[in-house]
Structures are given as structure tokens and as C-alpha cells.
Structure 1
Amino acid sequence: MHVPFCASRCGYCDFNTYTASELQGSGSSPDTWLEAVRRELTRARATVGDRAVDTVFVGGGTPSLIGAERLGAVLATIRSEFGLAPGAEVTTESNPESTSPEFFAGLVEAGYTRVSLGMQSAAPHVLRILDRRHTPGRAVDAAREARAAGIAHVNLDLIYATPGETTADLRGSVEAVLSAGVDHVSAYSLIVEDGTAMARKVARGELPAPDDDVAAERYELIDDLLSAAGLQWYEVSNWASSAGARCRHNLGYWLDGDWWGVGPGAHSHLAGRRWWNVKHPARYAAALAESADPEADHEVLTPTEQHTERVMLRLRLAEGLDLDLLDAPARAEADRAAAADLLELRGGRAILTRRGRLLADRVVQDLLLASETAPA
């Protein structure tokens, strides 16, 4: 479920989001979004049929901006149209500044089981560079409030290797995360996306570009601190305190499951067909109000594309990649990667070493190129 609303735009963000001023005069609002979402869910039910929902993930944007009542209405519609599978995982992202004990209590009452909070950093000057509005301590307080309200699983997001961030800054951020007692942490190296405010600052020389070597050192520090606290990596950028604390929704993506993306700009995948909705909330709502399909375009994945995605995504997991998915040239490349301490080969699987995690994209590329360039 994609919620496209934000109070302000972060300088590094290139997601499909809109501030109130950007939507002024368009007729778009949280209520028109909710009505359109309900209509799309009805269309999804007609396509998918009798199929209970295993996981729900409300992302954005800033879902917490629309309030617990509307988030509850979304989940009620999903229950009505599909039903939730026993033990379903139900997550919403939230911005720390738009949450409160009452908000989290409302989520629990509605049936949410998991909250993901965008913390990014505990250092004030790093938050300023990222154009984040929340105060440094608010994310930790919000995580504690979520746990106190009875949210079963709580995640905090970090961004590392921001220009101006020191090792001490990052250490302080991780220690703040651990003090909140969360059972899941996501940590992402800052990527300067084209078209963002941050990209323009880098192009003008106002900010230095992120340094890959610094990012590698920071990743290792995060892994050391989280591992020592009992949170183990299960995907290159994600750590959890137990198997039960892992994000099952994201695992569905990484294991090429089926999902229906609801909302403006949302992407879906069913049986090898991928499609995406029109981006603007007004166009999205107008299409559904006229009983039209909000789809903007689609693609049907070829067997080669499906194989590429399986290798790329499954290798990122701690369980690794089944070696049976590799042909002989790629298997030989896996042996070379193991000799270079990038992969560990055991139990019929290829698993990234910590050094391999730092170079995961290269490892994937080399495995795929080995097959493509092998003599016929």
C-alpha cells in the first residue's frame, strides 16, 4: 500500500511523494486516496480471487500522516475483500514526528503487528544534511511508545555514510537504536539519486559525494555493533533478533513471491507479470472513480530476467543462493569468488561472506556474466 503524502521532501528522496503545496488544487487528499485504495482493492479481489493475504506493508511517503483511523480503514478493507491469513504480518512505516502513544494504540486496535520508523541518524547535523525534520531523540522515544502500546515488532531505519557523518556519529546512532530495544534494524548506505535536491547540491560542490570506502567501514561497524547485541543479518541491509522478527513482507519480494501494490505509482507482480500504477494521486483516483484500470504500464518477465532476479535477490539473503540455479560457467565463477573470500560454499548453497556483502553487486554481476559470456 503506497501512501504518497509527506509533510516535506527529504533531500535524498526520489520516491513518489507529494507535499500539501504540491497537491494544492488537484483535489487529492488522504480521503480521496482512501476511497481510491478501496476501489483498487475491490479490483484486485476480482483478479486474484479467493486468496488470503499473508502480509500487508503500508509504505510511503509518510503513512503516519494519514492517522491511525485511516490506516485501520485500509486494513479493514483488506480483511473484507480478501481476509488475512492466520498470523499475518501487518506493517506500517511511520515518521517519528507524526506518531504518539495514541497513534500506536490505534494501530494495535486496528490489527497492525509491526511498525517501521525512519530514524536515519541520531546526530543533529546529519539529520540536517538529510533534510529530516524530527529531533534526534524522537525516533527512539517513538520506538519505545510503539513497544509499550503492544506492537509486536518494531524496526528502526538508519542511513549511513552521509557527507559530514563521523564514525562517532554513526556509533552514537547505533547505540541509540539499541537503547530502544527494537527487534529489527535496517541500515542503508546513502545513495545520491539523480533529480533529488541532494544530487543538485553534490553537482554544485556544496556537498561531497558519499565515499565507498567510508561506507564499507561504516557497514562493518554497524554489523559489529548489531551482532554483539544479538541482532543477526538475514539480508545485506537488514538485521533481526530472531527468525520471527524478520520482515516477512520483504522476504516475499526477495523470494520472488506474488504481491499486489495498491496506490499511486505502486508496483505489482503476479506469476511473472509486473505492472505499475499511474504516479499522480489525482490521476490514480480519477481512473478508479471511473471504474478504469489505474495501470500505467507493464512488463512480462522472460525466463532470463526471472533467473537474473533470483540470483540477484536470493544471494543477498543469509540463506544464500541454491547452487542448482547456476549453470557450469556460473558455478566455476562461484568457486573463484569463494577462493577470493567473497562467497562461502556449503550445503549446496552460495552464501556471501562479510567481505562479499560489501561487494554483493559485483559478485552477482560476475556470476551472471559468466553464464552470458560462456562459449555456446
Structure 2
Amino acid sequence: MGRREVETVFFGGGTPTQLPAADLVRILAAIDESFGLADGVEVTTEANPDSVTLESLQTLHAGGFTRISFGVQSAVPHVLATLERTHDPAGVPQAISWARQAGFEQLSVDLIYGTPGESMDDWRASITQAIALAPDHISAYALIVEQGTAFARKVRRGEVVMPDDDETADKYVLADELFAAAGLDWYELSNWARDDAAQCRHNVLYWHSDDWLGIGPGAHSHVAGERWWNVKHPAAYAQRLAADELPRQDGETIDAATARVEQIMLETRLRSGLDLGVLSAEAQTAVPSLLERGMVTQHENHLVLTQQGRLLADAVVRELVD
């Protein structure tokens, strides 16, 4: 790939802070040595609230980390138990306080809604606690059941019952309205920020289909129109590296038609909207109907989802692609 200056780094896909903070700093230093970190680089790590200490956060910040995203998920113990999360919600404010004390200026909180057994009051309590933490950024995702997991087997056996779509939509609307009232504006379907500077630059990179290099088992990369992914199992990944082989499992070249569809799918999710010039002549004919139904608004030459449109974003994308 050559030496390409790195503008954002994101440690995630699990709980990176299970590793000693000094090891995370060593990895960041190796990235800097291999590629070079840009001035003003954004460096994020995900963390469980119970996986950090004041000392570990001080080590991370001193080592170049600029942003931390806490997996709070819920403020309600029985919901956390269903999600098999280990932290006590009462300890979350302490973790946030430590992060601020360590010098982190950008703090994010991740929430999950739609967990089986979660009431609307439960969800409101989680939103209220998250807002009270005064983060710069909040992500709120509907629970997705991954096939092949123990949780998926419980759903299939009827041991837990997923909420219906209307209830999930109501929870999204409640979150959007309460976040907005607290000064957090949506900039992507599942993400709200206090201002432009608080947006996650790394995730915005994904939504604009820019280049990124994924490191680790199962990580995906996208560089210059090529997409590839690594072997998933950690042991297989380690064996490839020990044999001085690339850990790549497979990949694909993205043709122009696929790139256009992906651009529509991803940029429609953003508050900045989708450039009308990307749409085919046939897809352009769907725009008046979407406007009339209140699914989108038009700002100059961009289509932007309304709140109703955000609830049905996949359906809107299908109309714009067909």
C-alpha cells in the first residue's frame, strides 16, 4: 500500500480495553511508524464501563488516543442481563468521570434498544441516563440478532421474544426527540452529536466509501475500489502471520454499478443527504413520490431523510436504486 498518512484509527469490534492500555498504545505507535499519523488524527477506542480505570485511561490519552466510546447499552439491569453485559449501570458515571479527568475531550455513549423484555419506560430510563452523562456523541442501535449465536438460538426456541417493528420504531422516535431536546442532532441514522466536531470522523469515512485498512481477525478493508476480508478465527489469523502470510480470506473488485448502489445506500443514511446527480434517470422519477409522502426533503441538489423516512430508510433506498 505504500506509506499513506492515517487520518483516523478505530479500535473496536469487541472490547479493546480488555488489553492492557500500554499494549493499545504500542499498536497505535506501530501504525504511526508504518504509515504516519496525520496532524489532528482521531483515535477512538471502544470500551466497556467496567474495563477501564483512571490509570488505564490516562495511559491511553497520553499515548495518543483522542476519543472513547463506552458501550453502556442500557441503564436497566434486567436488560443488561439479557444482553449478557457485565457492568453495573451505577458505575457508568464513574467511568465517564475518569475519562474526562484523563483528558478525553470526545466521549461517546453507545445504546441498544429493542432487547426482549425492554419496556418503553426501560428505554426512556436508558436515554435519560445517557443524556445526564453529558456525552459529546450518542449512538443508538436497534438490537440485531446475529445468526449462529447463543442469543439467536434462544430466539428460535422461543425463550426470548423480539419486539415488533412498531414498538422498535416508537423507541427510535423517542430517542431522536429526547436527544434533540438535549442538544444532540442526528447526522446519521443511528448517531447523534453535539456539534460537527463531535461527529465520529472514522464512521463518516465508511459512509462515504473512502479507503480504510482493517487489521485483525475478520476485519474488512476497502482500498482503491478493492474490498477484502481476513480469516475470522483468531488461531487461523495468528497462524497466517506466523508463516509470514497475509491473513486475507477473500475479496472483490467493486465495479461502477456496485459503487453507485453502495453510494446511494450509505449516503442516504446521512443528514448531509444524497446528491441527486448519483441517481439514474429512472430512479429520479421516484423522487416526487418520496417528497409527497414526506419520506425525504430536498435541500438544493440533495435528498435528506425526514424522521419518517429514517424509520423506513431501507424502503427509500430500494426505490432510489430500482
Q: Aligning the two structures, in what range does the TM-score lie when normalised by the shorter sequence?
A: over 0.9
Matches within 5 A, 1:294-313: 294-313=247-266
Shift of 1:329: 1.5
Q: Distance in 2 between matches of 1:106 and 1:273?
A: 36
What does the per-residue CA deviation read over 1:64-100, in whole Å, with 9 as the maximum and x for residues that have no partner?
0002100000111011111111101000111111111
Which residue of 142, 154, 166 corresponds with 1:213? 166
| Residue type at the aligned position of 1:280 | H
Matches within 5 A, 1:274-289: 274-289=227-242
CA contact (8 A) 2:229 2:250 kept: yes
Which residue of 315, 318, 322 corresponds with 1:365? 318
Answer yes or no: is 1:319 the counterpart of 2:298.
Answer: no
- Aligned residue for 1:60, secondary structure, equals coil
| Residue type at the aligned position of 2:291 | A
CA contact (8 A) 1:265 1:277 kept: yes
Which residue of 60, 67, 70 corresponds with 1:117? 70
Answer yes or no: is 1:173 the counterpart of 2:126.
Answer: yes
Shift of 1:177: 0.8
CA contact (8 A) 1:158 1:185 kept: yes
Matches within 5 A, 1:255-274: 255-274=208-227
Q: Distance in 1 between matches of 2:91 and 2:180?
A: 24
Shift of 1:172: 1.0
Relative contact order, CA 8 A, sep 6+: which one is greater?
1
Shift of 1:346: 1.9
Identity across aligned pairs (percent)?
50
CA contact (8 A) 2:3 2:34 kept: no
CA contact (8 A) 1:71 1:107 kept: yes
Q: Distance in 2 between matches of 1:230 and 1:50?
A: 40
- Aligned residue for 1:159, secondary structure, equals strand
Shift of 1:56: 0.2
Shift of 1:60: 2.5
Unaligned runs of 5+ in 2: none
Q: Distance in 1 between matches of 2:93 and 2:128?
A: 10
- Aligned residue for 1:137, secondary structure, equals helix
CA contact (8 A) 1:190 1:210 kept: no
Unaligned runs of 5+ in 1: 1-47, 370-376
**Structure 1 length-normalised TM:** 0.84
Answer yes or no: is 1:191 the counterpart of 2:140.
Answer: no
Shift of 1:185: 0.2
What does the per-residue CA deviation read over 1:297-350, in whole Å, with 9 as the maximum and x for residues that have no partner?
111112111111100000000000000001222111122111110010121100
Shift of 1:101: 0.8
Which residue of 316, 340, 350 corresponds with 2:293? 340
| Residue type at the aligned position of 2:176 | D
Q: Distance in 2 between matches of 1:229 and 1:157?
A: 16
Aligned pair count? 322
Q: Runs (4+) of structure 1 moved beyond 6 Å?
A: none
- Aligned residue for 1:182, secondary structure, equals coil
What does the per-residue CA deviation read over 1:100-120, in whole Å, with 9 as the maximum and x for residues that have no partner?
111110111111000011111
Q: Distance in 1 between matches of 2:161 and 2:245?
A: 46
Answer yes or no: is 1:134 the counterpart of 2:62.
Answer: no
**Structure 2 length-normalised TM:** 0.98
Q: For residue 246 of structure 2, what is the aligned residue in structure 1? A: 293
Matches within 5 A, 1:39-54: 48-54=1-7
